[in-house]
Chains A and B, each alone.
Chain A
Amino acid sequence: MSELLLLLISTALVNNVVLIKFLGLCPAMGVSKSMDSALGMGMATTFVMTLASAASWALEHWLLEPLELTFLRILTFILVIASVVQFTEMFIKKASPGLYQSLGIYLPLITTNCAVLGVALLNVQQAYGFFWSVAYGFGSALGFTLVLMTFAGLRERIALARVPAAFAGSPIAFVTISLLALAFMGFSGLNV
């Protein structure tokens, strides 16, 4: 149990997908303008990532390995992820139209969120069991949500600040996220 907890902490903080592994940078820059949409995106990604981890584990162990088709791994994983995203989109549209509207174009973009595919592939690489795979996916998504929300909070403040013209917009956001990455480097000392 404690090992599972450690895995969660280490994936969320120490090996953060966005700031340490540099995966999923597109939504990190794109959907971080307001806390609301950052939370929505984080929740949607968490859902997709956890589900995709489980599905990809099943695919790997019950289809690709028995049939020796591991060269098809990326192809099949993308297929599964895209389907899960489609399903999530339909589900959110039904369950929460407001969130659906605020996520807008970014929801389908989770399909191409490299963090989702990256986590699925890393699961295989690390040869995790089913529960560990799911925990790894969930922890990574948690870390993703954490970064997205922290960054969105910072950007909400920056939107009010008077930024020099040359830095206004994306440049100051990049500077900020790099400082955030430096801060997260501090977690590497946790040594879990």
Chain B
Amino acid sequence: MLAAILSLTILGALLGLALGIASRLLHVETPPVQAELEAMLPGTNCGQCGFPGCSGAAAALAEGSAPPTCCPPGGKALAAAIAEKLGLSLDLSSLTDEGPKLATIAEDLCIGCCRCLKSCPTDAILGAPKQIHNILKEACTGCAACVDHCPTEAVVMQPVPVTLQHWVMPKPLAA
């Protein structure tokens, strides 16, 4: 009985010691995944994911509490990249990618209040007090942060029209 207890204890202690030493010798600095994830996210802090900004979303992704599909402006491409980074299998079917949308301002409704200007994470809205605002298509990311700030509902999200440059040949139906 004593021999059994002693031998197991000694064996465990020895192996533990060996592993401890090995972990010292073979120590690797793992790059913080969170920082890498944060670099992949758009960085606009638009808040559509429900986390406090992109760094919050990166933290949630790193600890696994957010799905890789949590970033709507990133779309399918970003979701796939995040899933690969984290080694997760991705279920794209849950992601309804309706295609990109951009914010537009209805000129007859805009009262020039400047409230939307401050909310834009990419400075895409041009405007001055009592002047009709305008949104730069090239800079708008479609995050919809401005929509709720408009008192007259002049900001509307509209799908980006398909142009010749963006057209993709449809996938043929399988036989």
Contacts and interface: CB of A to CB of B under 8 A. Distances in A.
B15 A67 contact: no
Nearest to B87: A104
Contact of B3 (A69, A83, A86, A91): A69
A87 interface: yes
B19 A67 contact: no
Contacts of B19: 83, 86-87, 90
Interface residues of A, number: 21
Interface of B is mostly: helix
Nearest to B15: A83
Contact of A72 (B4, B15, B28, B174): B4
Interface stretch (B6-14, B43-51, B105-113): B6-14
Interface stretch (A93-101, A131-139, A149-157): A93-101
Interface residues of B, number: 16
A91 B26 contact: yes
Contacts of B22: 87, 90-91
Interface of B: 3-4, 7-8, 11-12, 15, 18-19, 22-23, 26-28, 87, 174
Contacts of B23: 90
A106 B47 CA distance: 35
B18 A72 contact: no
Contacts of B7: 63, 67, 69, 72
B12 A79 contact: yes
Contact of A83 (B8, B18, B28, B174): B18
Contacts of A75: 8
A19 interface: no
Contacts of A67: 3-4, 7
15 contacts: A63-B7, A67-B4, A67-B7, A69-B3, A69-B4, A69-B7, A72-B4, A72-B7, A79-B11, A80-B11, A86-B19, A87-B18, A87-B19, A93-B28, A94-B27
A185 to B, nearest CB: 33
Contact of A94 (B3, B28, B174): B28
